[in-house]
Amino acid sequence: MKLIYVLNGPNLNLLGKRQPHIYGHETLEDVKQACLQVAAENGLAVEFLQSNSEAQIVDWIHAAREVASGIVINPAAFTHTSVAILDALNTFDHPIIEVHISNVHKREPFRHHSYVSGVASGVIAGFGTQGYLFAIQRMAKLVREHEAVGASAQD
């Protein structure tokens, strides 16, 4: 079974308690369980992680380089600030999907720019926590395609 990382940035540990009118009532544990289920249905295993530390997220991206076939990432506020996370993602040779629970484009102008979007195969925003599940379904297809291209390159 191929492994993907689902990475979550700062304050997402408070999901369900934090601004529920924007981010909803589900907890991050609820999201994790739903991700594990959809991933299993799509033949993927998931390492689901959250940190409030930029350095920790960079380290997890480095770890993913060794073991993961894809990264789904909600960098949260680091989306709009972190060249370090962009640089780390640029070292990852497999598909990346960026997820935002809220529609960042409907919100404050500083949320309209993402450092991560330029390296992502796709961006999902504004579908609530369901966006993670869409991302995993899409990732399953991208991983299959990516492996097929890799295999044919070795022929």
Q: Which helix (H) or strand (E) holds 147?
A: helix 130-154
The smaller minimum CB distance to ligand DQA, of residues 2 and 98, is found at 98
The smaller minimum CB distance to ligand DQA, of residues 11 and 137, is found at 11
The smaller minimum CB distance to ligand DQA, of residues 2 and 104, is found at 104
Distance CA 68, CA 30 (A): 23
Task: Write a three-state SS string for 36-74.
Answer: HHHHHHCCEEEEEEECCCHHHHHHHHHHHHHHCCEEEEE
Distance CA 115, CA 76 (A): 11
Residue 135 interacts with ligand DQA (CB under 6 A): yes or no? no
Buried b (16+ CB within 10 A) or exposed e, 114-152: bbbeebbbebbbebbbbbbbbbbebbbebbeebeeeeee
Draw the binding track, 30-69, toward ligand DQA (x: CB under 6 A; -: no contact).
----------------------------------------
Stretch near ligand DQA under the rule CB under 6 A, chosen from 32-40, 45-53, 99-107, 116-124 = 99-107
Least Cβ distance, residue 9 to ligand DQA (angstroms): 7
Residue 129 interacts with ligand DQA (CB under 6 A): yes or no? no
The only residue of 34, 36, 49, 77 in contact with ligand DQA, by rule CB under 6 A:
77
- Interacting residue ranges for ligand DQA, rule: CB under 6 A: 11, 74, 76-77, 79, 100-102, 104, 111
